Amino acid sequence: MAILAVNAGSSSLKFSLHPLTDGQVQPHLLSGNIQGLEPGGAPAMGWQHRGEKHQRALQVPAGASPFGAALDALRALLGEWADAPEIAAVAHRVVHGGGEFTASVRVDDAVLARLARFNSLAPLHQPHNLEGIRRFRAAFPGLPQIACFDTAFHAHMPEVDRAFALPRALSEQGVRRYGFHGLSYQYIMGVLQERTIRGNGRVVMAHLGNGASLCAAHGGTSVATTMGFSALDGLMMGTRSGALDPGVLLYLLEQGWTHARIEALLYRQSGLLGVSGISADMRRLRAEAAAGHGDARRAIAQFTHRVVRETGALTACLQGLDLLAFSGGIGENDAQLREEACAQLGWMGLRIDAARNRQVEGACAIHAPDSRIEVWVVPTDEGRVAAREAAALLRG
């Protein structure tokens, strides 16, 4: 038996197949990503199986849905190996569970309807996550579909961090800080607790990618995080603004901006893309900055500054820091960002080993021997966490 973990986005479908051995979830046997699923796109599937990488273009029949073609291709791929395990359930990453869903749940029509209420709080993710569940339910009838929530890891944050300084009536309506990237933080936390005793202490985890956030944890439990009511708050991101003075929004409304225009600005036109005017991709911005592009340098410096500033704030919440961990596409792969951020945090007694930082492979420590704070890089695996959640729910 195996759990199929999936993450359905607006134009892509990530997947991984995790075998079950004595009820325990194993590392993925198969993983991949189907891209180009937006209208008019050119769908293509890339996957890795037993260490070998493959690529295949997908044909979409006239009038058919690209996502439907992706599901057909995935089903065909899963059936190509004689030793492929039987799928016990599909585990879906769902960004927002609100205050109602604080643990993974088997999905039915009522659950889908309740989750749809959070679409406006995560418009880049939630509607596509739920549409993915609907399509998998139709494609795999009778197979349990399990929703696993990014907000669940933060469900028990202290009220002092969870609450906004708003009238109680709004708080009672659910206007509060929820936090996100929870599946990633759950995985990182588990790795750290297995690898170092400091993983049970005061930890700041940095999930840095196109979406970016920080999380402070103590004893393995989230106590504060930079994202809030929506996935807009906190750090500067690829195309999202991060924390912003609410007065800016009032000003834009006075200037006649519509809800749709403001939403596009905050979610799709800001962040690294907005500041640089070039790209949301840190790799391209590094190349442009090296070539002397001033706006690219400014975007990178602003992104790094926000990471440093919020790390300091979360360290204050923890009343000290034992370990700092980097993850996500930027956190795992951008050695220069780790070096620059850690240099600016050197006042805390944090030191990294330059050679280790440049030669990261898998989950590893990169701090220098004389560092007062451990520094780790942990490649995240949200799919494996979702698969574990689904397996536990099935057992229960």
**Model confidence over 337-354: pLDDT tens digits?**
999 999 999 999 999 999
Assess whether pLDDT exceeds 90 at residue 65: no
383 is annotated as contributing to ligand binding: no
> Please, what are the domains in the chain?
2-149 (3.30.420.40), 182-382 (3.30.420.40)
Of 229, 187, 230, 191, residue with least CA distance to 207: 187
At 37, the pLDDT band (50, 70, 90 cuts) reads confident
- Count other C-beta atoms under 10 Å from residue 46's C-beta: 13
Assess whether pLDDT exceeds 90 at residue 104: yes
- Amino acid sitting at position 297: R
Cα–Cα distance for residue pair 128/146, rounded to 1 Å: 15
Of 349, 298, 297, residue with least CA distance to 323: 349
357 is annotated as contributing to ligand binding: no
Residue pair 298/275 in contact by the 8 Å Cβ criterion = yes
- What is the average per-residue pLDDT within 355-361? 96
At 82, the pLDDT band (50, 70, 90 cuts) reads low
At 278, the pLDDT band (50, 70, 90 cuts) reads very high
pLDDT at 363: 97
Q: Which residue has the higher pLDDT, 29 or 255?
A: 255
Least reliable range by pLDDT among 119-133, 215-229, 376-390: 119-133
Assess whether pLDDT exceeds 80 at residue 2: yes
pLDDT at 52: 86
Q: Which residue has the higher pLDDT, 142 or 375?
A: 375
At 144-203, the pLDDT tens digits run 999 999 999 999 999 999 999 999 999 999 999 999 999 999 999 999 999 999 999 999
- Count other C-beta atoms under 10 Å from residue 139's C-beta: 16
Assess whether pLDDT exceeds 70 at residue 287: yes
pLDDT at 41: 80
- What is the average per-residue pLDDT within 278-286? 97
100 is annotated as contributing to ligand binding: no
Burial zone of 159 (CB within 10 Å; 0-12 exposed, 13-18 middle, 19+ buried): exposed
pLDDT at 249: 97
Residue pair 206/326 in contact by the 8 Å Cβ criterion = yes
What are the Cα distances from residue 76, in Å, to 7, 142, 286, 292? 18, 18, 39, 48
pLDDT at 223: 98
Cα–Cα distance for residue pair 152/98, rounded to 1 Å: 9
Assess whether pLDDT exceeds 80 at residue 54: yes
Assess whether pLDDT exceeds 70 at residue 392: yes
pLDDT at 10: 82
- What is the average per-residue pLDDT within 98-109? 94
17 is annotated as contributing to ligand binding: no
- The alpha helices in the chain, defined as continuous H runs, are 66-78, 109-115, 126-139, 159-162, 168-172, 182-195, 246-254, 259-268, 271-276, 282-290, 294-318, 328-333, 335-344, 354-358, 382-395
210 is annotated as contributing to ligand binding: yes
Assess whether pLDDT exceeds 90 at residue 50: no
157 is annotated as contributing to ligand binding: no
Global confidence as pTM: 0.94
- The set of residues, in sequence order, having a beta carbon less than 8 Å from that of 1 and lying 6+ positions away, is 19, 20, 85, 86, 87, 88
Assess whether pLDDT exceeds 70 at residue 290: yes
pLDDT at 166: 96
330 is annotated as contributing to ligand binding: yes
Cα–Cα distance for residue pair 214/10, rounded to 1 Å: 24
211 CB-side CA count, 13 A: 17
**Which of the residues are catalytic?**
150
117 is annotated as contributing to ligand binding: no
At 244-259, the pLDDT tens digits run 999 999 999 999 999 9
Average pLDDT, the chain: 94
- Amino acid sitting at position 389: E
Residues of the chain with pLDDT > 90, as a percent, come to 82
Strand, coil or helix: 80: coil
- What is the average per-residue pLDDT within 96-111? 95
Cα–Cα distance for residue pair 181/153, rounded to 1 Å: 8
